[in-house]
Structure 1
């Protein structure tokens, strides 16, 4: 588009310069004709002044005729050059006029196209921003889905009993950690039947329960510890009236990864070693 406008402007400027040059040449030729006519008239006047007085009237008549012919030639030359100038001007007008409407239309079309391009660029930028926001939301949703799927796949469940048959556990003269030897369920292998300690594999909220069975000869006192901190306990006093005692408790604990949970039995107490005495837990939700 820019190259077309430049070419049209150059063509118009060239034609105007050509027209100005033609008009300048025309005025120059008219001036030269006038000067030549004046010089011829002076020469004739000088020659005729040498005639005697008897021929003065003849000279005047002849000079008038000569002046009339000269003036006629001058007028004819003027009309001729005027005709050439008008013809050339008309030709230029005929050639130039058709370009002006096209140039105006091109400028109008160019302006309209420029506005359309700007509008399209604005819409494209808005669309790009919307797409970026949509991609961000999509990534967030994917991350949430992956996180939920990961949480669903992470199953931590265990349940174990004392596993000693009819033998009692205790009494001992110090506190001990009970190792529940008979493992019923251990999804995630977070519970160790060797040490009796549950180690949290992931951070989250866990649920733990303990139950026991014991006789009347000694008191019973079991506690659930989180690391080195006691959380809940279950207990019963020594009595001669009851043939056997049972007890239990439960707790929700928020654990960090590698936190430990275990059951401690107090000194000088005991519990039955059969399957009545249990320790269980599972992961409720990750945090």
Structure 2
């Protein structure tokens, strides 16, 4: 745009130079015309001795008028074009500034969306990383007790997300979803007695195991798929007057993980 303006200004200066040259030529023509007019006037008006040889004749006025008409309209047209060009340039600058503002606003929105997506992705991935596995303390026998005894699997094998508590023995659901749980049990069976217990969801009995023997060791296991809400609790409880045992082989375990969120 600036280059075009410079070109037009050069053309304007060239036009002015041409007009000056035409003015010089007009002066020469004026002098020649004046001399011719003077001779003609002297011949035709032989008795008029007071005629002024420097006075402007009709032919001279015609030459001057023609020169002015050639120069002045071109100058005005160039100046008008320059004004229109300047207005168009200002309009273009305003349009570009508005476009830049819109682009900057769009970039801010995209950045905010990217930040939100990153947070949601991190949250979603963190929610999906839910799994645990734990075993009873080694070298111990629990029971018999005259109440439902909550088993606490203190020996943690894996607990990503930290949603299983080795202090209370409860798993707490961090998100709504479908979970899988499994547990196993063992009892030496050295004395008359039996073993049994259940998996509980918010205090409600879900699945169980049971074993009885007077001379042999007994074991049991079970599993379940549960739909949990946020904050739901799952644990394993030993029935009344039942026993459970373990040693370094870790026979008694409690495990679970998130299948998929809902």
Per the TM superposition, whether the score is higher than 0.5 is yes
Give the TM interval when normalised to the shorter protein: 0.5 to 0.7
Cα-to-partner distance string for 1:94-149 (whole Å, 9 max, x where unaligned): 45652322222332343345345535644654464355334423432343234434
CA 1:85–1:138: 2 relative to 1, 3 Å? same
CA 1:149–1:95: 2 relative to 1, 3 Å? same
TM-score by length of 1: 0.53
Q: Secondary structure at the match of 2:194?
A: coil
Q: Secondary structure at the match of 2:224?
A: strand
Q: Which residue is 1:30 aligned to?
A: none
Residue 114 in structure 1 maps to residue 90 in structure 2: no
CA-based RMSD of the aligned residues comes to 4.5
CA contact (8 A) 2:150 2:238 kept: yes
Q: Which residue is 1:280 aligned to?
A: 255
1:3-152 paired onto structure 2 within 5 Å: 83=56, 91=64, 94-95=67-68, 97-115=70-88, 117-119=90-92, 121-122=94-95, 125-126=98-99, 128-149=101-122, 152=125
CA deviation after TM superposition for structure 1 residue 179, in Å: 1.1
CA contact (8 A) 2:184 2:252 kept: yes
Rg larger for: 1
Residue 178 in structure 1 maps to residue 154 in structure 2: no
The one of 191, 196, 199 equivalent to 1:223 is 199
What runs of 5+ residues in structure 2 fail to find an aligned partner?
6-46
What runs of 5+ residues in structure 1 fail to find an aligned partner?
2-71
1: CA distance, partners of 2:146 / 2:58: 136
Q: Secondary structure at the match of 2:144?
A: coil
CA 1:273–1:209: 2 relative to 1, 3 Å? same
More helix per residue = 1
TM-score by length of 2: 0.57
1: CA distance, partners of 2:180 / 2:90: 64
Q: Which residue is 1:45 aligned to?
A: none
CA contact (8 A) 1:208 1:282 kept: yes
Residue correspondences, number: 210
Q: Which residue is 1:158 aligned to?
A: 132
1: CA distance, partners of 2:148 / 2:95: 76
CA deviation after TM superposition for structure 1 residue 173, in Å: 2.1
Q: Secondary structure at the match of 1:276?
A: coil
